[in-house]
Chains A and B, each alone.
Chain A
Amino acid sequence: MILNLIAPFNTTEGLGIWIAAFLTLCIFSFLYKDNPFYKFAEHLFVGVSSGYYISIYYWNTLKPNMIDELTKGFTALGKGDMQKAFGLDESGAVMAEPHLRMLVPLMLGIFILLIFISRKNAWLSRISFAWYIGVASGIAIPTAMSTRVLLQAQGSIRDFCSYNADCAVSAGLEPQVATTALWINAFLLLIGTLSALAYFFFSLPSKGALKVMNKVGIYFLMISFGASFGYTVMARISLLIGRLQFLFYDWLGITIS
């Protein structure tokens, strides 16, 4: 272990490292207790991130997708080319570039901001919310049904199908020769899924066979939660390692021989 020079103070890069190290320590101080340093860092964080998002959203989304489109649209309009202004080509077919069609989201966006200006007209923001949420819901219906429900149900019997030559061939899966251990695993997986699924039946009181199944379901849930927790610990420590590597290597200039 060789102790090198601490990061220099007077270059842009060095100053940056000092600031970053100071803010890192401010946040770490919360572990002991709340204090003015943490409070300062917390408020700075809120401000810096807000400014950061405004800039990123403007340059990456608002400008290319709306402002530039509208500019092109109005330019075409100025030249009297109505079709192009609204994003239609010569034959009248809709072009991918929306141009003045972006006036619709602009209007919806202004409706949202009306909340600031006029209480009376603030209800118009509901139209924007409805649009926004309607689109998201429409996309969600078939995809959630397919990916989260049907394909997961399929996954629960997938192993059985690939272990059975006939089934595998007709389903186009790669047939596998299953050992006893694999069979046991496949059954455990299915029993776990079915019993945990039964836990989420709200319509029936937990009695009789359902009670037994619920109990088994809860056991599976608990093992799963424990496993996820244990698995996650790694990630959390990784993050700490990342910060320590920064403090030790970049700021204090320690190098490992």
Chain B
Amino acid sequence: MNIWDKLSSIDRRWIFLAMAIFVSWPVLKPLGLPVTTTKEVESLYSFIDEIEDKKPIILALDYGPSTAPELTPMAKAVIRHAISKGIPVVGVSLAPDAPGVANDIWKWAQEELGAVPGEDIAYLGYKAGTTNVILQMGQGISKAFPKDYYGNSTDDLPIMEGFQSLKDASLVLGLEATAIMDLWIQYAGDQMGVPVAGGMTAVSAPEAYVFYQSGQIVGLMGGMKGGAEYELLVGAPGNAVQGMDAQSLGHIVIIVFIIFGNLGFFLGKKGQDVSRLKSLRGDQK
């Protein structure tokens, strides 16, 4: 087996090790590469910036701890922006593992931004039933969420004054790790006519481009990069901006291994290929 064949069949554990080393390094010692902003995030920023009548933003925190590194920076940056503009933020969750994460963000908003619970911000907690909950919120917020997460009656919160139904919201911002985004778009956006925007994990974001392009959502943040962009737009760089260096190195590790794989494939024994992919149509015939 010559070097090219070896390059073509590296044990996956070497790849894992390389990944661990090159992602850890900038986490310990940031490199400070520049971050650019994209139009999807800018249009969300300017949409929120131009909300005038102080109608609340519904912040749908539909993600659990597993995707928090990507989505929590977005939540924090948007809350920071809204609070600074005096726009109330009402949080809801349609994913069962979301409340723990949301609770931490709400504590942060009170401590860091001085947001007053019940007035500037409210968190209504989790409710099972996804589609059904959205539809119910359209009929009345307190019908879906009679009490907030902390046990207060939703209708008694000052923030809810003049805010009966989902239709009264100035924006629904869905922070999503799953297909719940589609539901917000279908029901809150298309059916009730509320502006919808998305903050999504980088996995789900490409799918939502369709909706951005067709005008069904007003803005889109994708992955940690989206969060980093919003952090920069609000002028408060945080964890997401910090993580961008590690992103770059991680990507380079993968590219390098892809190059190894291709070198091995072309220069090794008759283009020996260790992958067993038959899906790619060329192989299927």
Contacts and interface: CB of A to CB of B under 8 A. Distances in A.
Interface of A: 1, 31-32, 52-53, 56-57, 60-61, 64, 96, 136, 139, 143, 146-147, 151-152, 154-155, 158, 218, 222, 224, 227-228, 231-245, 248, 254, 256
B280 interface: yes
Contacts of B190: 146-147, 151
Interface string B12-27: 0100100100011001
B128 A61 contact: yes
Contact of B246 (A155, A235, A237): A237
Contact of A240 (B23, B143, B223, B280): B23
A143 B131 CA distance: 11
B127 interface: yes
Given A155-B213, A244-B24, A256 B69 contact: no
Contacts of B69: 238-239, 241-243, 245
26 contacts: A1-B28, A1-B29, A31-B16, A52-B97, A56-B96, A56-B99, A57-B96, A60-B128, A64-B147, A96-B143, A151-B216, A158-B215, A227-B206, A231-B205, A231-B206, A232-B203, A234-B202, A234-B247, A234-B251, A235-B67, A235-B224, A238-B247, A239-B69, A242-B243, A245-B27, A245-B69
Interface string B207-234: 1001001111000001111000000000
A155 B247 contact: no
A143 B185 CA distance: 11
B16 A235 contact: no
A240 B250 contact: yes
Contacts of A232: 202-203, 206
B251 A233 contact: yes
B27 A241 contact: yes
Classify the secondary structure of A's interface with B: helix
B239 interface: yes
Contact of A56 (B126, B131, B213, B250): B126
A234 B96 contact: no
B88 interface: no
B254 interface: yes
A238 B127 contact: no
Interface of B: 13, 16, 19, 23-24, 27-30, 66-70, 96-97, 99, 125-129, 131, 135, 139-140, 143, 146-147, 182, 185-187, 190-191, 201-203, 205-207, 210, 213-216, 222-225, 239, 243, 246-247, 250-251, 254, 280-281
Contacts of A60: 99, 125-128
B27 A244 contact: yes
Contact of A218 (B29, B67, B225, B281): B281
Contacts of A152: 210, 214
A61 B146 CA distance: 10
Contacts of A1: 28-29
Contacts, number: 130
Given A139-B131, A146-B190, A147-B185, A241 B126 contact: no
B186 to A, nearest CB: 4
B70 A239 contact: yes
Contacts of A233: 202, 250-251, 254
A20 B65 CA distance: 13
A237 B247 contact: yes
A234 B214 contact: no
Given A31-B16, A234-B225, A248-B27, A241 B243 contact: yes
Contacts of B16: 31
B147 A235 contact: no
B198 to A, nearest CB: 14
Given A233-B250, A235-B202, A235-B223, 13 more contacts: A60-B127, A96-B140, A143-B191, A231-B223, A233-B254, A234-B202, A234-B251, A239-B69, A241-B27, A241-B246, A243-B69, A244-B23, A248-B24
Contacts of A256: 28-30
B214 A147 contact: no
A199 B240 CA distance: 40
A32 B247 contact: no
B4 to A, nearest CB: 24
A189 to B, nearest CB: 8
Nearest to A147: B186
A120 to B, nearest CB: 30
A237 B243 CA distance: 9
B224 A238 contact: yes
A41 B135 CA distance: 38
A32 B13 CA distance: 7
Contact of A238 (B28, B97, B187, B202): B202
A74 B126 CA distance: 27
B284 to A, nearest CB: 10
Given A60-B126, A231-B222, A256-B30, A158 B214 contact: yes
